[in-house]
Amino acid sequence: MVAWIGVDDTDSLQGMCTTFLAAEIVRELTTDYDLVGYPRLVRLNPNVPWKTRGNGAICVRFGHGAGRRTLIGELEGRPIWSHAWARGDDDVWRLRARVSTLVESRSEFQEPTTNPGFCILSGQPAASLYWNAVRRIVSKEEALAAVRSPGVLREYKNGRGIIGALAAAAWRPRDRTYEVLAYRGESRWGTPRVLDPDSVKNMDRSFASTFNNYDYECDRIVIAPHSPCPILFGIRGDDPGVLPAALQTIKGESPAGWIVFETNQGTDDHVIPAPTLEPRTTVQVDTQVLGLPRTIRGGHVVLEMNGLEAVAYEPSKGFRNIVRALRPGDRVRVVGSIRAQPKTLNIEKLQVLSLVEESRKLANPLCLRCQKRAKSMGTRAGFRCARCGQRFPHSAAVRELVSRALEPGWYEPPAGSRRHLSQPLSRRLDRSRRRAAA
Ligand code: ATP
């Protein structure tokens, strides 16, 4: 039997991190139990208003390990092994005191917005809880109703953390990626991180299965957080086997320990593939561009679509030029989150499906009788020969086609302004190539 431990909402912007608590649980419990599978970092709906940062929850599984053993980390100089599966029976209640002590000693209880919760279950909650929590807003009652097996449920303060804790335990990966997290020694918490940017670029180029490492457009490292939390950096990728080697190539501050997590990052699990306009969801909409894109104060670019405005915000940098290059009549597939007030779609990425022809006027129509160019009668009002009075429609102007600055295909913001859950285009292409080759 496997004990499914889910934890959420232990940290604040001032410090700590739920993934560090995962490392603490692994460090403490691997002295008596075996870790089963990879520890899991499960991102939930990025549009939840009460999240601290990236709406991440964790799930770790323990039992009497069996099957193949994999090295998945190193903590305090001790190798951390994970087993393929577990055998025999165990009592989830026996873990309760040790997990409570860790959660209670490592949670930011003084923060008003920190509301920890954890579960220790002998089986996973219903799969639907994960899908609802990654795509919609879930109530505590709904989360508790998804529990299917006996175990421990523990809530602190308003207990909201139990939603994420149970949703993380409910995750059955349809698609998955991995992230190796490097931890800082406690004496360094809150001090500036020392990482060599060139080594990050080299790692990015040498390990093709990793992604979102360096933002070449803004020339900055993406693997390191900016908060005073205990994480030094995290490298994301599709192949867990190469992540420890990738970690070794990063120059600068030495990590005090590391763990490879299995995650739903970069999977697009949060995207509802239907054009629902429910606020606080992320949707995919196929639509036609209605008006010319406009740049508003703050550098944000607004695109008028059928019944809704879509916005590419300033941090998406050069991606805004793609949006600016769209023209009325173009067909696009837009992925983005629905904001409640004002009701807009915050663009995460887009696919140009088809482009209209764009032309520019070279000259007014020629009046063949007078051999003179007709005069314009105003915007879209057509033309008139000033000499003989003959009228010409607006479409009679002499025009030439101009080449469009865009091609059909997918476009995304630079690595530094992507959402954790958003599937990078490099990964999307790689997966479709692998599918085609299979
Ligand atoms: P970090 O990424 O730094 O670990 P965070 O961004 O995950 O922090 P939390 O402090 O964990 O933020 O807060 C998120 C809170 O929202 C948790 O209490 C979690 O249970 C709850 N939550 C997560 N997803 C949903 C959802 N879909 N509906 C309702 N509540 C949710």
CATH number at residue 234: 3.30.70.2200
pLDDT at residue 52 in the model:
83
pLDDT at residue 381 in the model:
94
Does 377 reside within a domain? yes
Does 174 reside within a domain? yes
Q: Is any atom of ligand 1 closer than 6 Å to the C-beta of 144?
A: no
Does 25 reside within a domain? yes
Q: Is any atom of ligand 1 closer than 6 Å to the C-beta of 41?
A: no
Does 414 reside within a domain? yes
Assess whether 232 and 280 both reside in one domain.
Answer: no
The alpha carbon of 165 and the centre of ligand 1 are apart by a number of angstroms equal to 9
Assess whether 84 and 177 both reside in one domain.
Answer: yes
Distance CA 325, CA 408 (A): 12
Distance CA 193, CA 255 (A): 11
User: What one-letter code names the amino acid at 42?
Assistant: V
Kindly report the protein residue whose alpha carbon is nearest to atom 17 of ligand 1. Answer: 161
pLDDT at residue 159 in the model:
94
Kindly report the protein residue whose alpha carbon is nearest to atom 21 of ligand 1. Answer: 164
Assess whether 306 and 383 both reside in one domain.
Answer: no
Atom nearest to 229 CA in ligand 1: 3
In terms of phi and psi (left: phi > 0; alpha: psi -120 to 50; beta: otherwise), the region of 161 is: alpha
Give the domain-ending residue among 232, 247, 267: 267
Distance CA 301, CA 294 (A): 6
pLDDT at residue 434 in the model:
76
Q: Is any atom of ligand 1 closer than 6 Å to the C-beta of 48?
A: yes
Predicted TM-score (pTM) above 0.85: yes
Kindly report the protein residue whose alpha carbon is nearest to atom 22 of ligand 1. Answer: 164
Assess whether 286 and 318 both reside in one domain.
Answer: yes
- Tell me if 259 sits within 8 A of 41, measured CB to CB: no
Does 308 reside within a domain? yes
- Tell me if 288 sits within 8 A of 305, measured CB to CB: yes
Atom nearest to 113 CA in ligand 1: 10
Assess whether 186 and 200 both reside in one domain.
Answer: yes
pLDDT at residue 199 in the model:
98
Q: Which two tokens stand for residue 65?
A: 């390990």
User: What is the three-class DSSP state of 259?
Assistant: strand
Q: For a pocket test of ligand 1, which of 20, 51, 128, 129 has the largest count of ligand atoms closer than 8 A to its C-beta?
A: 51
Does 429 reside within a domain? no
Q: Which residue range forms the structural domain that includes residue 385?
A: 367-398
Q: Is any atom of ligand 1 closer than 6 Å to the C-beta of 18?
A: yes
pLDDT at residue 17 in the model:
87
Q: Is any atom of ligand 1 closer than 6 Å to the C-beta of 160?
A: yes
Atom nearest to 163 CA in ligand 1: 20
- Tell me if 303 sits within 8 A of 289, measured CB to CB: yes
H helices then E strands: how many in the chain?
9, 28
In terms of phi and psi (left: phi > 0; alpha: psi -120 to 50; beta: otherwise), the region of 192 is: beta
The alpha carbon of 280 and the centre of ligand 1 are apart by a number of angstroms equal to 14
Q: Is any atom of ligand 1 closer than 6 Å to the C-beta of 11?
A: yes
Assess whether 58 and 166 both reside in one domain.
Answer: yes
Assess whether 110 and 239 both reside in one domain.
Answer: yes
pLDDT at residue 102 in the model:
95
Question: Mean pLDDT for each consecutive 10-residue tract of the chain (438 residues)?
Answer: 94 82 96 96 96 93 94 97 87 91 90 93 97 98 97 96 98 98 95 97 97 97 93 97 98 97 98 90 95 96 91 97 96 95 94 96 96 95 96 96 94 96 91 76
Assess whether 167 and 250 both reside in one domain.
Answer: yes
Assess whether 142 and 98 both reside in one domain.
Answer: yes
Does 430 reside within a domain? no
Please work out, in degrees rounded to the nearest 5, the angle formed at the alpha carbon of residue 61 by the alpha carbons of 56 and 66.
145
DSSP string, 334-347: EEEEEETTTTEEEE
The alpha carbon of 332 and the centre of ligand 1 are apart by a number of angstroms equal to 32
Kindly report the protein residue whose alpha carbon is nearest to atom 27 of ligand 1. Answer: 133
Assess whether 208 and 279 both reside in one domain.
Answer: no
Number of domains in the chain: 3
- Residue 86 DSSP label: E
DSSP string, 366-394: EETTTTEEPEE-STTS-EE-TTT--EE-G
Does 238 reside within a domain? yes
Kindly report the protein residue whose alpha carbon is nearest to atom 18 of ligand 1. Answer: 161
User: What is the three-class DSSP state of 253?
Assistant: coil
Give the domain-ending residue among 223, 244, 267: 267
The alpha carbon of 390 and the centre of ligand 1 are apart by a number of angstroms equal to 70
CATH code of the domain in which 332 resides: 2.40.50.1010
How would you label 402-411 residue by residue, b for 16+ Cβ within 10 Å and e otherwise?
Answer: eebebeeeeb
Assess whether 104 and 139 both reside in one domain.
Answer: yes
Q: For a pocket test of ligand 1, which of 52, 55, 231 has the largest count of ligand atoms closer than 8 A to its C-beta?
A: 55
Assess whether 262 and 277 both reside in one domain.
Answer: no
Q: For a pocket test of ligand 1, which of 10, 42, 50, 139 has the largest count of ligand atoms closer than 8 A to its C-beta?
A: 50
Give the domain-ending residue among 220, 246, 267: 267
Q: Which two tokens stand for residue 384?
A: 């008139």
User: What is the three-class DSSP state of 328?
Assistant: coil
